[in-house]
Structure 1
Amino acid sequence: MVIQLKRTAIPWLIPIFIIVAWQVVVSGGFVSPQLLPAPLTVLKSLYQLVVSGDLTYHMAASLGRALIGLVIGGGIGFILGIANGLSKFSYAFTDTTLQMIRNIPNLALVPLVIIWFGIDEGAKIFLVSIGVMFPIYINTLHGIRNIDPGFIEMGRMYGLKGWRLFKEILLIGALPSIFVGLRYSLGVMWMTLIVAETIASTRGVGYLAMTAQQFMQSDIIIITILLYALFGKVADLLARYGERKALKWHKGYVQ
């Protein structure tokens, strides 16, 4: 029980220290509150956003865009990774093009995306989808291609073929790599969303930050930064939970 408590508490020691030091530095007059509001000031502003309903309104928009983009981009990346991992023809036909697109920065696509999709939700979801697609594609491809051929041969000896061979040998063997891609793509998803929500938005955490910048509301800007950090942490925790459940058979995940 004590050991478990220590494991739970240790990761929070540095964040708590930073918050305490932050409060001391601002309260002591070492930094102007206009430049860096104290944690208590930020907490008060957060409470006002919650009570007014503005926080829920903007969070719902951001979470919706992130989830839709993850499903679309992650689904495409997963399918392409499977196809290119299993088929040499598919790999030769599509991988070079995918790698070229992967190396184009998302910011460079913004003007073209606005022309294609306008400034509505489609542009934002497209950017998020592109951002999350490639980490999942590359790791799925890597996972499929690095499965021990001995396992495949053993599966065939037991009469597995087609869909059953894929489901019970190939997919299971690739899952560790796929989850690595998923966790990485979740971080890319939030970074891309920040950029996407600067495109003439009227809703979203990014829009909230841009509006706060115009009115020099440092406390609101800090809240939006903390929200993105919280989103990222919760998303990673959910991915790790799914990883532990799906990979209970793997020696690296034995409790």
Structure 2
Amino acid sequence: MTVETFTDARHPAPGRLALKLTPKPREGRIRLVSADASRLLLPIVLLLIWQGACSFGFVGPRTLESPLTVAQTLVELTASGVLWESLVASFKRAGLGFLIGGGLGLLLGVVAGLSRTGERAYDALLQMLRMVPFLAVIPLFVIWFGVDEEPKILLIALACIFPVYLNTFSGVRNVDPKIIEAATVFGMRRSAIATQIVAPLALPSIMVGIRYAMGVALLSLVAAEQVNATSGIGYLALNPRASLRTDIILGVVLLYSVLGLFVDFLIRTAQDRLLPWHRTILEKAR
């Protein structure tokens, strides 16, 4: 947005200010795309070093398969349909777990952030549960919910609650109280203040929590799919250990990393769409 002066018949006063919206230059978009692409430079360099170490015999195949071998194994798994079935099963579990845990964490964070009563009611309990080792609750979930899909989804949901809750609580509490006080003076209702003022200002922190929780959902798949699973990428990584198929294990590890990068890219893109003003501030700070 630029400010220009104009004088015409309808506005005879010279030098009158006018606001004119100018589109974002294409060079700026290209610069942002280049900056995102540059983030892949280090992973590519590490893959090249890994391939070189395997090709020149510094690392044996029993210790570490080469990236080309791992890629060939992933292609074979994809052609056989095993990899696709595993991805679909894992995405269903991770998606449902994230929706349940993230939604609950968002609700609890908003209530505790807006109300001291809500904070006193359950914040201490959530902080205690947050410090419980994740693997320690797996036997309890098996006893309580059986060995079907329920314990897997609920384990992922449990892992996703805390990142969203903590970031939502922090974002709501860090809203400037003077803004809320001014809105109250002008007669805004509490619900309108929460939806029109607090929510937009807390949204950057909430998006950080969602971004972190989606990564946690993928990580918790490994533990969740140990509970009598017969499908999923976590099961695919653990199952071939008996036959020492390090190429499959490494392939799943690389697949996890690519999925994590893809999910992070989706969240960053959504954040840029939802918070254009926040993106502008970051760009000017660079």
Give the counterpart letter for 1:98 in structure 2.
L
1:92-123 C-alpha deviation (Å, 9 max, x unpaired): 11111111111101111011111011111111
More helix by share: 1
Q: Within 5 A, what are the aligned runs for 1:193-204?
A: 193-204=221-232
Task: Measure the CA separation in 2 of the matches of 1:214 and 1:252.
Answer: 52
Q: Within 5 A, what are the aligned runs for 1:52-201?
A: 52-201=80-229
1:145-197 C-alpha deviation (Å, 9 max, x unpaired): 11101111222344321322111111111111111111221222222111111
- Secondary structure, in 3 states, of the residue corresponding to 2:222? helix
Q: Does the CA contact (< 8 Å) of 1:247 and 1:253 recur in 2?
A: no
Question: What's 2:238 paired with?
Answer: 210
Q: Mean Cα displacement is larger for which, 193-202 or 8-17?
A: 8-17
Q: Mean Cα displacement is larger for which, 66-75 or 183-192?
A: 183-192
Question: What's 1:246 paired with?
Answer: 274
Question: What's 2:252 paired with?
Answer: 224
Deviation at 1:144, TM superposition (A): 1.0
1:57-111 C-alpha deviation (Å, 9 max, x unpaired): 0000111111101100000001001111112112111111111111101111011
Task: Measure the CA separation in 1 of the matches of 2:97 and 2:268.
Answer: 20
With normalisation by structure 2, the TM-score equals 0.84
Question: What's 2:16 paired with?
Answer: none
Give the counterpart letter for 1:51 in structure 2.
A
Q: Mean Cα displacement is larger for which, 77-86 or 182-191?
A: 182-191
Structure 1 pair 191–214 and aligned structure 2 pair: CA distance change class (3 A): same
RMSD: 1.7
- Secondary structure, in 3 states, of the residue corresponding to 1:249? helix
Q: 1:40 aligns with which of 68, 79, 96?
A: 68
Task: Measure the CA separation in 2 of the matches of 1:166 and 1:123.
Answer: 35
Deviation at 1:254, TM superposition (A): 5.6
Q: Which of structures 1 and 2 has the bigger CA Rg?
A: 2
- The answer to whether the aligner puts 1:10 opposite 2:58 as a matched pair is no
Task: Measure the CA separation in 1 of the matches of 2:195 and 2:36.
Answer: 36
- Secondary structure, in 3 states, of the residue corresponding to 1:183? helix
How many residues are paired up?
255
With normalisation by structure 1, the TM-score equals 0.94
Question: Structure 2: 5+ residue runs without aligned partners?
Answer: 1-26
